[in-house]
Amino acid sequence: MITGEIRNKIDAIWDTFWTSGITNSMTVLEQMTYLFFIKILDDAQLKQEATALAFDSTIENPTFPEGDWVNPQTEESVPYQNLRWSTFKNFDAQLMLKTVRDDVFLFIKNLNSGKNSSYSTYMKDAIFLIPNERTLTKLVDGVSDLNMEDRDTMGDVYEYILGKMAASGTNGQFRTPRHIIKMMVALVKPTL
């Protein structure tokens, strides 16, 4: 069960999306999930780096290795360090939006590129919709305040968000998946 404090933080993040003009609940959930994922990637590597430092070892296959990442759209070299939540959250608002929109989001979209995985399949059509610097700054600050290390808490956060979506009455976009519809039609066997 999430605490009132966490609930208030999620509500503030939700309200930030809505006041920026992103009012479709599914879009809010999607964009929020992208931000959570970006932060979790960096948090995981920070934890690996601390362990490696404590045991005088190295990290195998880090998400953010030393050196530069080449943006496939612009051909510009971007330091991997700039793609990390712990780095870009300290950028000024304009640079943060440019970095997240043009580099970080493209980086996460291409994490498993070339591999036939459910992640790469889902992310190939992902779109970054956060409209401006002010909104992104408020969202990054809000997400930074959440402790994402406890999986149970994050599960509770998602349950709370889904409950909030269901209770808001703005969710005509919930639909029955096509394979369930086909199964129901096959079971009923309607005739014309």
**What per-residue confidence (pLDDT) applies to 7?**
93
User: Residue 65 and residue 60: Cα distance in Å, rounded?
Assistant: 9
Residue 175, judged by CB atoms within 10 A of its CB (0-12, 13-18, 19+), counts as exposed
pTM of the predicted protein model = 0.83
Q: Look up the CATH number of the domain holding residue 42.
A: 1.20.1260
Query: Which runs of E-coded beta strand occur in 25-160?
Result: 68-70, 77-79
CB 146 within 8 A of CB 9: yes
> For 118-142, what is each residue's pLDDT tens digit?
777 778 788 999 999 999 999 999 9
- Directed axis angle between helix 4-19 and helix 25-54, to 10°? 120
Range of the domain at 100: 4-188
Number of folded domains that form the chain: 1
Which residues in the chain show pLDDT less than 70? 1, 113-114, 117, 168-177, 190-192
Phi, psi of 79 (to 5 degrees): -60, 135
